[in-house]
């Protein structure tokens, strides 16, 4: 009996050790299999194409020497854009391609381009639907062949304008090549339009508590005018009294 008891105790200890250590051994085996045979990713990896980055081994001084990207000076599109800079000045810029020059030469002859010179024609189109022939007036500005932008002094606030780029023959004929958008110069003074619905409300909030809820504001104004005779009615803007 004395010999069996230590043996039984040893067997119980070993069984308990196996029970507790077996999950740990199984977990390590699963992790080892995951490292050896990793499962496929849940998401597909994507890489940007055409992205040009400088090499990682370049120094800061070498990076500074790399050329900076620049916007193209020409886009190969025939166009003319007009902007209103302020009440007195406009700004126009344009691009004229070789295709447009070839069309001009084919229509008016091979020597027509060299026999003409470029002109900006500024139209006053205030208040009209401009169709190219019904302008209120126009001004011609003679420019050089290499010019592709121009500041135009109109000196006319609150007016609408349109500009043509064309070629002028020696006999005065003007041929339009490009036409800009229409713009309106801003005002150079205060607006002459007055709001006739403004009311003088001085003292309104001091006496608003004397009226019952639900009374309309015109009734309040009328009552205040009758009581104090200090509320001028029919004026166009606050601060100006109506002349009797």
Does 184 score more than 50 pLDDT? yes
Query: Tokens 């135009």 correspond to what residue?
Result: 152
CA distance 171 to 212: 82
**pLDDT confidence bin for 15, thresholds 50/70/90:** confident
Nearest to 241 by CA among 192, 206, 202: 202
Angle (nearest 5°) at CA 20 between 18 and 21: 65
- pLDDT value, residue 211: 52
Mean of the pLDDT values across residues 122-132?
A: 95
**pLDDT confidence bin for 70, thresholds 50/70/90:** confident
Least confident range of 52-61, 67-76, 82-91, 229-238: 229-238
Mean of the pLDDT values across residues 64-73?
A: 70
Q: Domains of the chain by range and CATH? A: 79-184 (2.60.40.10), 194-244 (no CATH)
Does 243 score more than 50 pLDDT? no
Please check whether residue 117 is in contact with residue 168, taking contact to mean a CB–CB distance below 8 angstroms.
Answer: yes
**168 Cβ contact list (under 8 Å, min separation 6):** 116, 117, 118, 119, 140, 142, 174, 175
Mean of the pLDDT values across residues 156-170?
A: 96
Alpha-carbon dihedral sign for residues 58, 61, 67, 70: positive
- Percent of the chain having pLDDT more than 70? 54
């Amino acid at each position: 009996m004395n010999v069996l008891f230590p043996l039984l105790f040893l067997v119980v200890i070993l069984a308990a050790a196996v029970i507790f250590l077996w999950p740990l051994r199984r977990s390590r085996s699963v992790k080892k299999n995951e490292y050896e045979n990793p499962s496929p990713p849940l998401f597909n990896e994507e890489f940007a194409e055409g992205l040009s980055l400088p090499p990682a081994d370049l120094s800061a001084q070498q990076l500074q020497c790399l050329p900076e990207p620049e916007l193209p000076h020409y886009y190969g599109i025939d166009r003319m854009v007009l902007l209103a800079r302020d009440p007195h000045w406009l700004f126009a810029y344009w691009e004229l391609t070789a295709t447009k020059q070839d069309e001009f030469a084919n229509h008016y002859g091979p020597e027509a381009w060299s026999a003409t010179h470029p002109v900006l024609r500024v139209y006053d189109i205030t208040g009209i639907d401009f169709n190219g022939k019904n302008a209120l007036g126009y001004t011609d500005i003679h420019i050089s062949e290499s010019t592709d932008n121009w500041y135009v002094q109109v000196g006319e606030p609150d007016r609408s304008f349109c500009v043509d780029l064309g070629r002028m023959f020696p006999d005065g004929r003007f041929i339009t090549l490009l036409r800009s958008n229409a713009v309106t110069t801003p005002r150079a003074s205060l607006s002459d339009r007055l709001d006739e619905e403004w009311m003088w409300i001085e003292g309104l909030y001091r006496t608003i508590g004397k009226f019952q809820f639900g009374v309309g504001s015109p009734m309040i104004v009328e009552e205040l005018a009758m009581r104090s005779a200090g509320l001028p009615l029919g004026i166009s803007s606050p601060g100006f009294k109506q002349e009797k």
